[in-house]
Chains A and B, each alone.
Chain A
Amino acid sequence: GAVVSQHPSWVICKSGTSVKIECRSLDFQATTMFWYRQFPKQSLMLMATSNEGSKATYEQGVEKDKFLINHASLTLSTLTVTSAHPEDSSFYICSAGQGTQNQPQHFGDGTRLSIL
C-alpha cells in the first residue's frame, strides 16, 4: 500500500517551455503533498507544501509564479515549471503524507528535468 506515482520520469525540452509534473496517490488519500528539488550532490530541498483545496505554501526563495502547484483532489497534485530555463534543470520529486506527523512520507519516483 501507500503508492505514489509520479509522471513523467524524464523530460527534455527547450528553454521557454512550460512543463507539468503529476503526482498521484494510488491507494490512499493524500491531504498533503510535498514537492522537493535535488541538485547534484545536494540534499532534497523542500520547495512547497501542497494542501488539497487550498493554496500551496512555498519555501523561502521559491518563486510561486515560476513553480505553479495545484492540488485539486485528494489524489492528485501537479507542479508546473513555467517558462523553464536551463537553471531549472534538476531532479524534482513529490511525496505524500497519510495523516499524522509520525507517519513516513511516501515518495514518487521523481522527474529528471533537462532544459536545453
Chain B
Amino acid sequence: ILNVEQSPQSLHVQEGDSTNFTCSFPSSNFYALHWYRWETAKSPEALFVMTLNGDEKKKGRISATLNTKEGYSYLYIKGSQPEDSATSLCASRGGGTASKLTFGTGTRL
C-alpha cells in the first residue's frame, strides 16, 4: 500500500448501532497513525495518535486499534448517536524529523 486508504467511503447506520471503519497505511517506515473527527463547517478534531503495534485507545464511545505490521487501524463507534455524524479522517506519519501526515479521504457517517 503506497497511500492511506479508508473504507467505506460513507455509510448510514441506525441510532444505537455500533460500527467500525478501516484505515490502511504503508507499514514500512511507520511512525504514527492519527485519527481526526471532522464535522461539517467545523475544524477537524483530534481523536487519537497511535504509535505502537497493538495500541488500543478509547475516548467515550469511540475506540481505535492499530496493527503496524500489516498496516491497518480500525475505528469503532459504539451505540451511534446523531451527534456522531461526521467524517472520520486517518493520517499516517512516516519516520524522520521532517515527515509529514498523509491523509485518507475519510469515512462519512
Contact = CB atoms under 8 A, between A and B. Distances in A.
Interface of A: 4, 6, 34, 36, 41-46, 49, 57, 59, 93, 95, 101-110
Contact of B105 (A43, A59, A105): A43
B73 to A, nearest CB: 15
Contact of B106 (A6, A43, A46, A110): A43
Interface residues of B, number: 26
B99 interface: yes
A101 B93 contact: yes
A57 B105 contact: no
Contacts of B77: none
B46 A102 contact: no
A40 B93 CA distance: 23
Nearest to A36: B103
Nearest first, the 7 A-B pairs at minimum CB distance are A104-B46, A107-B43, A44-B103, A43-B103, A107-B44, A43-B105, A109-B43
Nearest to B6: A43
B36 to A, nearest CB: 7
Q: Which of B45, B51, B100 has the most CB of A within 10 A?
A: B100
Interface in B82-109: 89, 91, 93, 97-106
9 contacts: A4-B43, A44-B89, A46-B101, A104-B34, A105-B34, A105-B46, A107-B36, A109-B43, A110-B43
B106 A101 contact: no
B36 A104 contact: yes
B98 to A, nearest CB: 7
